[in-house]
Amino acid sequence: MRTVAVLGAAGGSGVTTVAAHLAAGLHAAHKHALAFDFSPDNVLRLHFGMAWQDTSGFAPALLADGDWHAATYRSATGLDFVPFGQLASDAELDRLASFFTAEPLWLRKQLQQLALPSETVAVCDCPRAPGALTAQALAAADLALLVMAPDAVAYAVATRTIERIRALGGPPAALLLNGFDPARRFDRDIAVLLRTAFQDRLAPVTIHRDAFLNEALACKQTVFDFAPSSQAAHEFAALSTWVLARLAREES
């Protein structure tokens, strides 16, 4: 089992979209993937067709009786995923954060104990703010994928975030530019800056802005099902291939 933590350099980076499509891209390439939602927004599941009203997930199950395994689902296309679930209150979220602070390797141990093929890649969707949940995912991860939109604040924050992951003793981090529009001068400038500043820490795949991504989510699908010929589908397929290669490099 190898794990990729997907987190954002700033709000609105498209972290959940990237996490969903990375897992779906691996699945489409016939690699076993597990999409694990570590964000209280509980949105990852919607990409895989789960009902909006369904409040099930690992977090409420864990807080209720400690066993979360019943909160594992399989999408119509056969992708396994674990939704975060809906917590009843902020106090419950605080309780969960306290548990994770006391058990910093909980997720790593849980993933290792799952009876899944050894080549499985778990993809964790991390919350916006740093904290116990993100730290938990980073402690389990073999690779951190830092997603940033072409945005000045995201660019400013990205360097600090990568340094913070390193300071925390986290996994190797790679940066992914998401929502790129080549028609915009600013986007092109950001891409030039990233290539110079981050070099091999910048993923060689850039995800372009693509309206099919929004439409696919509105239909509770990924672009692999909704628009398989779209640019986004091709780019996420390429990202999945690159992530596999990068994980193999980290192992060797």
Partner 1 sequence: MKPQQQPATSSDIASLFSRFGAMSQPGNYQEVVRQDAARNAALRWPLLAEVQGLSANPAAPGSE
Q: How far is the CB of 196 from partner 1 (least distance, A)?
A: 4
Length of the chain: 252
Distance of CA 172 to the CA centre of its chain: 15
CA distance 152 to 186: 9
Among 129, 193, 211, 219, binds partner 1 (CB under 8 A): 193
Residue 109 or 195: the one with the smaller Cβ distance to partner 1 is 195
Among 15, 18, 190, 202, binds partner 1 (CB under 8 A): 190
What track of x and - describes contact with partner 1 for positions 218 through 247 (by CB under 8 A)?
Answer: ------------------------------
Q: How far is the CB of 15 from partner 1 (least distance, A)?
A: 22
Q: How far is the CB of 194 from partner 1 (least distance, A)?
A: 9
Rounded to a whole number of angstroms, the distance between the first and last alpha carbons of the chain is 15
The tokens describing 68, both together, are 């979360």
Stretch that binds partner 1, among 2-10, 128-136, 194-202, 238-246 (CB under 8 A): 194-202
With 0-12 / 13-18 / 19 or more C-beta atoms within 10 angstroms meaning exposed / middle / buried, residue 172 is middle
Q: How far is the CB of 148 from partner 1 (least distance, A)?
A: 13
Kindly provide the residue ranges of all beta strands, DSSP E only, lying in 31-183, ordered along the sequence. 33-37, 73-74, 80-82, 121-125, 143-148, 173-180
* Half-sphere exposure in the Cβ direction for 9 (13 Å, CA): 24
Q: How far is the CB of 138 from partner 1 (least distance, A)?
A: 24
Among 69, 195, 218, 250, binds partner 1 (CB under 8 A): 195
Residue 81 or 198: the one with the smaller Cβ distance to partner 1 is 198
Among 185, 200, 229, 252, binds partner 1 (CB under 8 A): 185
Q: How far is the CB of 4 from partner 1 (least distance, A)?
A: 27
The tokens describing 188, both together, are 């092109």
Among 41, 163, 181, 189, binds partner 1 (CB under 8 A): 189
- Longest CA span, the chain: 53
CA distance 138 to 126: 9
Which H helix or E strand runs over 60? helix 58-65
Residues in 126-165 at the binding interface with partner 1, rule: CB under 8 A: 152-153, 155-156
Of 186, 251, 223, 249, residue with least CA distance to 22: 223
Among 53, 89, 118, 196, binds partner 1 (CB under 8 A): 196
Q: What residue ranges bind partner 1 (CB under 8 A)? A: 152-153, 155-156, 185-186, 188-190, 192-193, 195-197
